[in-house]
Amino acid sequence: MINFEMVSPDNAKDLYLPVMAEIIKVEQMTELETLYTVALPDGAELGHKPGQFVELSIFGVGEAPFSISSSPTMPGVFELGVRKVGMLTEVLSRMQPGQKVGIRGPFGNGIDLENFKGKDVLIVAGGIGLVPMRSMINYVIDNQQDFGKLHIVYGARTDSELLFEDELERWTADAGIDYRVTVDQGSSEWTGPTGVITTLIPGLELDLANTVCCICGPPVMYRFALMALKSKGLPERNIYMSLERRMKCGVGKCGHCQINSSYVCHDGPVYHYPEIKSLQEAL
């Protein structure tokens, strides 16, 4: 027999019932991506960590996981940056301020802040991977005293797909932030570098032993980013990555998000590289 005690019904939770949260603001960022500012009822705080996500539902349409893009240091509301790719995100893209969506969460482990504190922070974000990483970036900016230097490496397919343009400008202007951006293919107006994101890594000036990195991007990006970081000399134990898998429940029950034995919704989405190196399905 398995050694454990079944929980009593009083201590079990209605895991799937969302609370109704209000969309406060809708900002079109690019053709496909929109930033939503969302408020929980009665001014409740979401109470998340950078790297966590919520399950957003629209009744009759469904539910999907979205990373929390705002920093926990932003009070009262939180932000989600959503790319229109399918059924739910299409319907969401038509929603207006004042309308309500269901929210469950925050879920997932989030970034292990203790291991980033006192260190230089390197964020490597590809495409929509900037959405979750932005939570950490703004957290570091708002708590500068706890962290060393902030490096941000960001790549998008084209300059028209760059997200959070105002913030990108601020990061560029901020002498305290080492912000670098590249696009795979620039338009005629693009003056920055072109090429895939990994081309930016060799040029970074890093205090290798004292820099902790977090990577987030499309599935193909991880392996190449890792290779570049390793050949740069960044120790593996300083690398974290935020992964994406199909999710149906967000609470470690439905089985969809599994990477080998690990539940991304519960044990992830942010993984310490040495811990998932041995999981063959991870990268």
Partner 1 sequence: MVQLFLESDRVAELVAHLMKQKSVFAPHAKGRKSFAFEEVKDPSAAVLDYPRVMHSIRKFFFPPQETLMTFDLKENTCSVAETPAADAIFFGVHSYDLGAVHRLDYNFSEGNPEKNYIARRQGAVFVGVSYKPDEFHFSGSVGIDPYDTAGFDIFLTKLLDGYIVEALTPVGEGLLDGIELPAHEAGKPARGHFQQHIYLPQAKLGQVMDGSYQNEVWDDTAKKCVGCGTCNLVCPTCYCFTVEDEVNVQVTGGSRDRRWDGCMLRDFSAVAGGEVFRETLAERQRHRVFRKFKYISDETGQPWCVGCGRCTACCTAGISIVNIINRLVGDYEKVAVTPI
Partner 2 sequence: MADKPRVAIFDFTGCEGCELNQLNFEDQLLDILAHVDIVEWREAMDGHADEYDIAFVEGSLSTPDCIQRIHEVRRKAKVLVALGACAVQGGVNAVKNTHPIDEVREEVYGQDKYLFPTLPALPLSSVVKVDYNVRGCPMTQIEFLKVFTSLVMGKEPVEPEHSVCVECKLKENECVFERGMICLGPVIRAGCDAQCPSVGQYCTGCRGLVPEPNLEGMEEILVSHGLSVDEAWKRLELYNANEVEGVRS
Ligand X SMILES: Cc1cc2nc3c(=O)[nH]c(=O)nc-3n(C[C@H](O)[C@H](O)[C@H](O)COP(=O)(O)OP(=O)(O)OC[C@H]3O[C@@H](n4cnc5c(N)ncnc54)[C@H](O)[C@@H]3O)c2cc1C
Task: Give the interface with partner 1 as residue ranges (CB under 8 A).
Answer: 1-9, 11-18, 20, 57, 59-63, 85-86, 89, 100, 102, 219, 244-246, 248-249, 251-256, 258-261, 266, 280-281
Q: Which of residues 264-283 bind ligand FES (CB under 6 A)?
A: 264-265
Phi then psi dihedrals of residue 178, to 5 deg: -95, 95
Interface with ligand X (CB under 6 A), residue from 62, 118, 218, 219: 62
From first CA to last CA, the distance across the chain in angstroms is 35
* 29 part of the interface to ligand X, by CB under 6 A: no
Measured CA to CA, the distance from residue 141 to residue 148 in angstroms comes to 10
Tokens of 260: 């080998």
232 binds ligand X (CB under 6 A): no
Amino acid at 8: S
User: Contact letters (x/-) for partner 2, 40-69, by CB under 8 A?
Assistant: --------------------xx--------
Q: Which of 90, 165, 169, 207 binds partner 2 (CB under 8 A)?
A: 90
Q: Are 263 and 248 in contact (CB under 8 A)?
A: no
Least distance from partner 1 to the Cβ atom of residue 41, Å: 12
Long-range pairs of 95-98 with CB within 8 A, sequence gap ≥ 24 = 95/23, 95/26, 95/36, 95/58, 96/23, 96/26, 97/23, 97/24, 97/25, 97/26, 98/22, 98/23
**C-alpha span between 242 and 258 (Å, rounded):** 14
* CA 212 to chain CA mean position, Å: 16
Kindly state the smallest distance separating residue 269's Cβ from partner 2, in Å: 24
The reply on whether position 85 binds ligand X by CB under 6 A is yes
Per CB under 8 A, 87 contacts partner 2: yes
Q: Which residues bind ligand X (CB under 6 A)?
A: 53, 62, 64-67, 81-83, 85-89, 128, 131-132, 244-248, 269
Interface contacts to partner 2, rule CB under 8 A: 60-61, 86-88, 90-91, 94
